[in-house]
Structure 1
């Protein structure tokens, strides 16, 4: 997470990259991106090609257009989720672990098929549409409880009051982690988000160790005393015919912790911010709540916020662009969903827009928790609109943002009449 406007140093352009494909952009510290992320993305569309190379952050490719992202998402042989080749990664972690102890990996998101497939499969059942739909009313009950704590105040800072605690508590219940440790897990969430944007890569590694350590007592307890939760279910899994290990459980735990908390939190923040700015839409959804499902999809498109990293795994000419093995790339999904070549007037929010978005990515790495995210977002919008009168942004406390691999809302202050 980064709000510092000091740009990273630039590096020299590789010889095979033409000047026409170079665009100076720091996805972690760009001042305009931090100030108003999606407006800056529209500006980049006007001034940069759909695939460009930036000299910032050690130099990397940015897949900005919709077609580039859609095709790259399916081409896992070229665009690898393994940020370093497997042998190199094993060697790096082997050396680091001599000093730090075991470092968990966010499995299966950091793997390529076929390993990705065999580690993802055990999670498919618990995140299926049918299972997630069964959680809707318990999520609604939680949303109502959280909203009741500030509805009579006429104001709130939504990220702290609702956007963060709701997915954290849903996550704790699904995994079987103790609710009495809620404050600790929320602290770990914030520390991990800070570590992702840190200039020191060790911060992210030690953050994952902290997450695994916090979950370890519950993981071990569920092995001999299973309950109705994901951790207990995973103890019954076999990988390649072998029983799952404690290391596997910690890898899964880190993945779910990272992916399950921050993404939904930011979806709520961006969506409610738009509702606060679009008084006509807010009023329309109040009298026609059946439209909230479609409204949620257009909010996801208009304010897509995840930027998955990739490594180019072979020399290739991709959509006319020459890329070399082991160069880095990011799939700038917020750019894909604001691409005028794919969506008419992409900067406009259109409730009846029919074209699907790519907010949850595509291909083998399409977001496993997309069904859960949709339910949580829909319920939050429904309950906020049902409980709170017409709300707007607090003009004295404008929203703040952070950027990086997740474009997030840092603070969102709302006001309404009581």
Structure 2
């Protein structure tokens, strides 16, 4: 288990009743780090559906499906603009001439209508048709990674398969050099771990990400290739040609999302398979079930926790929230809410009305969900086709991490050869 220190406790605001306080640290809660989704199932029983925690700077955590659904769609109240546009424009205008651009991961840091203006050009890049064209290359890479460990009878799954598969796919899509993968992963990991503890340093970290990509971004303007960066240079935003600032804004968003998120979903899902030999046998016997199986796995092991900031006084599920307070949309809990999903802890391949929100809901629904689905389904198909029945190594249990993208640091699988 990853050992982490609890963050300092922030003072409780006067308007928060004692009944709504629940001590939970999204990065360092010991039970979360022991088994994330077991801890979440416990919280759904023991914590209010919306609670205030003194950890991670103090703020609200939304557990229930209904409250997450409502907050995700109400962008006027629960805003993604942690720095209001007017304030950001004033900040940028105050910078001395020649100062480096401060990139913002648009469009997730914007609310409609500005959000729509910047999201629309990305829709084509991540359309189902575009992503479907990648399926064969994803399958080839998955097969190559699995075959490299098959004869060993064991592997550390995260480093051998779950990380290199989606990260290499995404670096190739973006047009970034594969040999810099370790450097890129380090930058993203540092950024994700510091989101709550060092919000002030966020702009500095985003500048570092932009700097790591800048040489490629500039080259693609003059020498376009068949990649996303080249495509983005050709689009228009609100009728205007793309600028370097726009490219860096898009770049930091795609960089963070592509290099961290999907690998965690893969790890959690394959752990679920490793613990369920009967399911493995069922899917090997009928691979057509794998698409449905991956949707139930996404529900059972949802892993992202988006952030919002309260813009106006509101009451949600009995909790009074005030402007300026932070909110964590705890989607992993929403998809384990018994009011929405009967027997939520049960992996049910025949579950009806499995409308999970693993990719979010509302205007900010994950733009890369088509890609994530294809990668996860292809991985399932190739793992089940190429490996014999696999299980968790009892001598080396999985090590988990919390945070805004929960997942697995390391997971040792074994199989008979």
Q: Please name the residue that 2:84 is paired with.
A: 85
- Using the TM superposition, name which of 106-115 and 93-102 deviates more: 93-102
Q: Please name the residue that 1:370 is paired with.
A: 369
> Relative to structure 1, is the Cα distance of residues 134 and 403 closer, same or farther in structure 2, using a 3 angstrom cutoff?
same
Q: Please name the residue that 2:403 is paired with.
A: 404
Q: Please name the residue that 1:6 is paired with.
A: 5
**Which of the numbers 333, 336, 354 marks the counterpart of 1:335?**
333
Q: Please name the residue that 2:15 is paired with.
A: 16
Q: Aligned partners of 2:78, 2:412: CA distance in 1, in Å?
A: 39
* 2:51 equivalent to 1:74: no
Q: Aligned partners of 1:99, 1:223: CA distance in 2, in Å?
A: 21
Q: Aligned partners of 2:392, 2:308: CA distance in 1, in Å?
A: 36
> Relative to structure 1, is the Cα distance of residues 239 and 180 closer, same or farther in structure 2, using a 3 angstrom cutoff?
same
For 1:358-414, what per-residue CA distance to the aligned partner results, in whole angstroms no more than 9, with x for missing partners?
Answer: 100000000000000000000001101111111100111100111111111110110
Q: Please name the residue that 2:270 is paired with.
A: 272
Is this contact kept in 2: 1:83–1:309, CA < 8 A?
A: no
Q: Please name the residue that 2:222 is paired with.
A: 224
Q: Aligned partners of 2:93, 2:403: CA distance in 1, in Å?
A: 27
Q: Please name the residue that 1:151 is paired with.
A: 150
Q: CA deviation at 1:259?
A: 0.9
For 1:190-233, what per-residue CA distance to the aligned partner results, in whole angstroms no more than 9, with x for missing partners?
Answer: 44444446x33455443322221121111111112212211111
Q: Aligned partners of 1:408, 1:3: CA distance in 2, in Å?
A: 12
Q: Please name the residue that 1:206 is paired with.
A: 204
> Relative to structure 1, is the Cα distance of residues 148 and 188 closer, same or farther in structure 2, using a 3 angstrom cutoff?
farther
Partner of 1:347, secondary structure, is coil
Is this contact kept in 1: 2:171–2:178, CA < 8 A?
A: yes
* 2:216 equivalent to 1:215: no
Partner of 1:410, secondary structure, is strand
TM-score scaled by length of structure 1? 0.94
Is this contact kept in 1: 2:399–2:411, CA < 8 A?
A: yes
Q: Please name the residue that 1:133 is paired with.
A: 132
Q: CA deviation at 1:98?
A: 9.5
Q: Aligned partners of 2:47, 2:111: CA distance in 1, in Å?
A: 30
Q: Aligned partners of 1:164, 1:245: CA distance in 2, in Å?
A: 32
Q: CA deviation at 1:61?
A: 0.9
Q: Please name the residue that 1:348 is paired with.
A: 346
Q: Please name the residue that 2:64 is paired with.
A: 65
Partner of 1:365, secondary structure, is coil
> Relative to structure 1, is the Cα distance of residues 205 and 272 closer, same or farther in structure 2, using a 3 angstrom cutoff?
same
Is this contact kept in 2: 1:81–1:110, CA < 8 A?
A: yes
* 2:104 equivalent to 1:109: no
Partner of 2:219, secondary structure, is helix
Partner of 1:149, secondary structure, is helix
Is this contact kept in 2: 1:97–1:103, CA < 8 A?
A: no
Q: CA deviation at 1:63?
A: 0.9
Partner of 1:125, secondary structure, is helix
- Using the TM superposition, name which of 255-264 and 204-213 deviates more: 204-213
- Using the TM superposition, name which of 183-192 and 277-286 deviates more: 183-192
**Which of the numbers 233, 236, 254 marks the counterpart of 2:234?**
236
Q: CA deviation at 1:181?
A: 3.3
Q: CA deviation at 1:297?
A: 0.4
Q: Aligned partners of 1:140, 1:206: CA distance in 2, in Å?
A: 37
Is this contact kept in 2: 1:84–1:311, CA < 8 A?
A: no
TM-score scaled by length of structure 2? 0.95
Is this contact kept in 2: 1:66–1:335, CA < 8 A?
A: yes
Q: Please name the residue that 2:291 is paired with.
A: 293
Is this contact kept in 1: 2:175–2:227, CA < 8 A?
A: yes
Structure 1: unaligned runs, 5 residues or longer: none
Partner of 1:301, secondary structure, is helix
Structure 2: unaligned runs, 5 residues or longer: none
> Relative to structure 1, is the Cα distance of residues 94 and 160 closer, same or farther in structure 2, using a 3 angstrom cutoff?
farther
Partner of 1:150, secondary structure, is helix
**Which of the numbers 246, 256, 259 marks the counterpart of 1:258?**
256
